[in-house]
Structure 1
Amino acid sequence: MRQFTAIVNPSAGGSTSAAALLQVARLLREAGAELETEYSRSLTHAQDLARAAGARERVVLAVGGDGIAGGIGGALSGTDVLFGLVPAGRGNDFARALELPSDPAELARILLHAPPRAVDTIEVESAVHPRTAVLGSVYAGVDALANRHANEAKLLRGAASYYAGGLRAVATWRAATYRVTVDGEEHTHRGYTVVAANSPYYGSGRMIAPGARVDDGLLDVVLIREAPRRLFFALMNELTSGTHVRRPQVRVLQGREIRIEADREVPYGADGEVDAVLPVTARVLPGALRMLY
């Protein structure tokens, strides 16, 4: 029987994290599993707790949103530690990519009985964040600015905070000229954003990279060109279905290593947590993390 250590982000969704864990924890314990709970004071603290639990050969559960999922998953990348998610945050985009159920009983069955499966992670390297691993995506441009605004929002939650953050970011954004190098091949791009995606989703369910897969050893690189603001708002709406990739303003590439640079200071983010400026390099780490899903 598996032994679990659940690491809770108390700030993700207020009391949602604790409530989500209580339901799953009861089912795990009723099945005979052992579960201990740790509350993190910061992302760094959560990563330290995860490493310590992994050293005791426990299954590590991240309870919260994409920030704690990406932070702990990145910390465990390249190890043999088994990792699971209890989605309880604002976006839950990586859990969505794994098609994790929202029903506590179904999720408990996966955590108890699913065989380990290998997923890719992303190694992120920049002057501010040397060799940090994350799970979902690295994005540079208006979406990073939107995510910053969403994180600052106090009164809005979930998709509403991301949408409001997006509106605010687009209203002030001016196009940047990017130099994007994919597996050694350089591309010039002028526009709104460049996204290196391991997961199809970001920004609370927006399907930025419909073709991305968490286990194919590749990153999907989505480039959105400069366009009138009214067209960009239409593109934002199409992110709910992924149909934006059919537009001529959107280009999708694939590669294993992506370098993103720009002609001015452009923010980038990763899994909703990293908040820095270009340049940045993203590398796929194939099968680097053992997960339950």
Structure 2
Amino acid sequence: MRQFTAVVNPTAGGSTGAAVLPRVGRLLREAGAELETEYSRSLAHARDLARRAGERGRVVLAVGGDGIAGCVGGALGGTGSVLGLVPAGRGNDFARALGLPADPAALTRILLHNAPRPVDTIEVESAVHRGTVVLGSVYAGVDALANRHANHARLLRGAASYYAGGLRAVTTWRPAAYRVTVDGREHTHRGYTVVAANSAYYGSGRAIAPDARVDDGLLDIVMIREAPRRLFFALMNELSTGAHVNRPEVRVLRGREIRIEADRPVPYGADGEVEATLPVTARVRPGDLAVLC
């Protein structure tokens, strides 16, 4: 029987990441599994908790949203330790990409019985971040600004906070001139964003890179170029299905390493938490993490 350590983000979802855990925890214990719970005070603290639990041979449960999933998953990458996700945040996009169910009973069965699956991670390097590892995507542009607004939204939750944050960001955004280098080949781009995606989803279910796969050893590079704002709003609506990739304003590349630079200070983010300013380099780490899914 597996032994679990839950690392909980107590502020996930705008209320408490712990709200989901009691139901899953009760089912795990009823099945005979051992569960201990640790509450994180910060992302750095969550990483330490995850590493220590993994070193003891325990399955580490990341309880919260994409921020805690990326933080804990990044801490376990390359160690052979096993990650489980208990989605309890605003977006839960990496859990969505893995097809994890919202039903506690179905999720518990996966945590108890499914074999770990190797998935890729993303290593992030910049002046601020040295070797930071995340799971879902790195995005540089208007979406990083939108995510910042969503994280500070007090009255809205879930997809509504991301949509409102996106509207606020777009109204003030000036298209940037990017230099994007993918596997050594340079591309110029002027527009709204550049996204290096391991997972298909970001921003609470938006299919930014619908063909991205978490286990193919590649990043899907999505670049949205300059366009009238009314067209960009239409494109934002198409993110729900991934239809935006068929527009001429959107270019998709694939590669193992990408460097993103710009002609002015442009914010970038990763997994809803990491915030800094370009330039940034992101590279895939194939099969880096074992996940129950």
TM-score, length-normalised on structure 2? 0.99
- Counterpart of 1:185? 185
| Alignment partners' CA distance in 2, 1:147 and 1:88 | 18
CA–CA distance in 2 between the matches of 1:276 and 1:4?
Answer: 33
- The answer to whether structure 1 residue 34 and structure 2 residue 34 are counterparts is yes
The CA distance in 2 between the partners of 1:232 and 1:256, in whole Å, is: 28
| Aligned-residue offset at 1:16 | 4.6
Deviation at 1:14, TM superposition (A): 4.6
Alpha-carbon distance between aligned partners in 1 of 2:16 and 2:103, rounded to the nearest angstrom: 14
1:217 matched to which residue of 2?
217
State the partner residue of 2:96: 96
In structure 2, the partner of 1:260 is: 260
Give the aligned residue type for 1:268.
Y
Deviations 1:52-74, CA, capped at 9 Å, x for gaps: 10111000000000000001101
Task: Give the root-mean-square deviation of aligned CA atoms.
Answer: 0.7
**Counterpart amino acid of residue 203 in structure 1:** G
TM-superposition CA deviations, 1:202-224 (whole Å, max 9, x none): 00000000000000000000000
1:148 counterpart residue number: 148
SS in 2 for 1:252: strand
Instruction: Give 1:36's aligned amino acid.
Output: E
Segments ≥4 residues shifted beyond 6 Å: none
**One-letter amino acid matched to 1:71:** C
Give the secondary structure class of the aligned counterpart of 2:187: strand
Q: Provide the residue aligned with 2:238 in structure 1.
A: 238
1:141 and 1:109 map into 2 onto residues whose CA distance is: 39
Q: Contact 2:2–2:112 (CA<8 Å) still a contact in 1?
A: yes
Which consecutive residues of structure 1, in runs of 5 or more, have no partner in the other structure? none
Partner-residue secondary structure (3-state), 1:206:
coil
Distance 1:14 1:265, change over 3 A: closer
Report SS of the residue matched to 1:232.
Answer: helix
**Length-normalised TM-score, structure 1:** 0.99
Give 1:174 deviation, angstroms: 0.5
Q: Percent identity?
A: 82
Structure 2 residue aligned with 1:198: 198
Superposition deviation, residue 177 in structure 1: 0.4
Q: Which residue of 2 aligns with 1:47?
A: 47
Q: Distance in 2 between matches of 1:83 and 1:175?
A: 38
Please give the alpha-carbon distance, in whole angstroms, between the structure 1 residues aligned to 2:155 and 2:107: 30
Shift of 1:95: 0.2
Q: Secondary structure at the match of 2:12?
A: coil
> Which residue of structure 2 lines up, in the alignment, with residue 66 of structure 1?
66
The count of corresponding residues between Structure 1 and Structure 2 is 293
> Partners of 1:25 and 1:15 in 2: how far apart?
19
